[in-house]
Amino acid sequence: MSIRLPRMPQAVVFDMDGLLFDTEALYRDAMLAAAQVLGRTMPLSLYLASIGLSGEATRQSLGEYFGPDFDFDCFWKQAAATFHARTTTELQLKPGVVELVGSLEELGIPFAIATSSGHHDVRRNLGLHGLFDRFPVVVAHGDYQLGKPHPEPFLTAARRLDVAPELCLALEDSHNGVRSASSAGMMTIMVPDLLAATEEIRGLCVGVAGNLGDVHAALLHHSRGAHVPN
């Protein structure tokens, strides 16, 4: 799938879950199983709608669906235990991550992570694949007041990178993440994982990639002087 960038980015901001790591299916299975432990049935659509949201927003969404007597803390503890147990043996990098990161380093383009997950999750995931030192700038839960789809996570990343948001390229797999990055003013590419790009989401993106290899190819193409007129 060919992606044409309107301009060469001066920085790149990555989402983490579902974009760098194949975690969304693990989260899905853990959350559906946790709901069953509590005697509830969680529709897949409810999980999909929560992708990219903060923990607080997920709490609100599940509370609205299951009602005020739903024990979210117990649910979250159960889901987290199942997820963390599986990540130790099943956490996989998404295709193209290492190659893209290596090219950004060679091109001298700074990059960051902007995620709804906590710093401990970022450290664990990056550490399991020897990538912790490759991502010196991480914006995670606790670094902003308003999570995705609000633009604050991406605006915070741009500020820490010292690059104007409109000069940043954001890479996202979720609808809420795309909304966040686009509203921050960033060039945005969606790399779908569990969610397909809708008409709305395509309208917020400069392109939809099949995988990070497509993004890598677009950056190399642009860096070699094949500029697209504005």
Q: Is the separation of the CB atoms in 170 and 186 below 8 Å? A: yes
Question: Do you find a cis peptide bond into 68, omega within 30 degrees of 0?
Answer: no
Both tokens assigned to 57: 């927003």
d(CA 33, CA 39): 10
Catalytic site includes residue 15: yes
Closest C-alpha among 81, 84, 76 to residue 23 = 84
d(CA 182, CA 203): 10
Backbone angles phi, psi at 172, to 5 degrees: -140, 150
Sheet (strand 138-139) strand order: 138-139, 111-114, 11-14, 168-172, 187-190, 207-208
Q: Is the separation of the CB atoms in 170 and 184 below 8 Å? A: yes
Both tokens assigned to 212: 């990070």
Q: What is the CA radius of gyration of the chain?
A: 17
- Of 17, 121, 173, 193, catalytic: 17
Q: Is the separation of the CB atoms in 173 and 193 below 8 Å? A: yes
The catalytic site residues sit at: 15, 17
